[in-house]
Amino acid sequence: MARSVLLGAALLALVAVAAAAPPIDKEGKENRDEARAAKKKAASEWLKRERGPKNGKDAPGADWKERAADRKRPKERMTPEAIGERRKASALFSAIIEPRTPKDVSFPLSEFDNLKFHSAREGLMDHVMNKVKDYDLNNADTKKTLRETTLANQEKARQLLIAAVKAGKTLQASRVGLIIAQFEALSEDEQKAALVKGKERLDKMPAGARDKAMHRQQEKHKEELAQIQALGSDEEKEEWLNKRYKPAGGGSKLPKLLE
């Protein structure tokens, strides 16, 4: 009996509290929800502006569904034989691709020079891949000749860059110009094939990424130009270059396949 009385009193107290509570302000809740949604939308738009267009559905004119499908497709795996040929080509690259007098370039690069620069990787490597079969690395005399040619080409490249810097060019402009000159030394058919691949790769890059890459090139060029102009003698310019020019493989270090 006493327990029932206590339960009844508790229920009455709860009813009294509920009755005393202020009514739910539906209009105020809707206003708060709208304000939160507006803030979230503004933050999202600000983030997009800060990041710039990207390789996805926000990229202007991009077929983002097709890009997403490309990423999901399984990548073609290289056979052990193909991997071996690729390693051999990388080892013989400096021996086969002769250094050239750097082409005069300015920053930002012209549209065609920029395309050539981005096509050089495919074009030069494809050229080397077609040549490696002519070299038997099991032959001691062949390896000796390749070692000598590699070291000679490394030194020739360094001397070409030294001459360019002494003439007032930056290392940035000289290296880019050298790569473009090497590309232009390929056959017409090799250049055409590489330009197609290079254009496809550039077209897949977000506009923002392309702009940033060109901006970095230009800023590096400006920084080096100021440093070179502050140097007085050719000896100082050569010393400046030697501190900054670090060729792939560490200068005179030979690829392991040629050791």
Domain residue limits, the chain: 81-258
Which range is most confident: 35-44, 179-188, 200-209?
179-188
| pLDDT tens sequence across 77-125 | 778 877 888 899 999 999 999 999 999 999 999 999 999 999 998 999 9
**Residue of 136, 113, 243 lying closest to 184 (CA atoms):** 113
**Given this model, what pLDDT does residue 55 score?**
44
Cis peptide before 60 (omega within 30 of 0): no
pLDDT of residue 124: 96
pLDDT tens figures, 219-229: 999 999 999 99
Residue 30's identity, in one-letter code, is: E
| C-alpha 249, offset from chain centre | 20
CA angle 115, 121, 123 (to 5 degrees): 85
The structure's pTM equals 0.68
Cβ proximity of 127 and 96 under 8 Å: yes
Q: Number of helices and strands (H, E) in the chain?
A: 10, 0
Picking from 20-24, 58-62, 99-103, 131-135, which range would have the lowest pLDDT averaged per residue?
58-62
pLDDT of residue 71: 55
pLDDT of residue 173: 96
For residue 144, what are its two tokens?
Answer: 């000796």
25-42 per-position pLDDT tens digit: 555 555 566 656 665 655
Least confident of 49-58, 127-136, 141-150: 49-58
CA–CA distance, 102 with 100 (Å, rounded to integer): 6
At 40 the three-state DSSP class reads helix
Q: What single-letter amino acid sits at 159?
A: Q
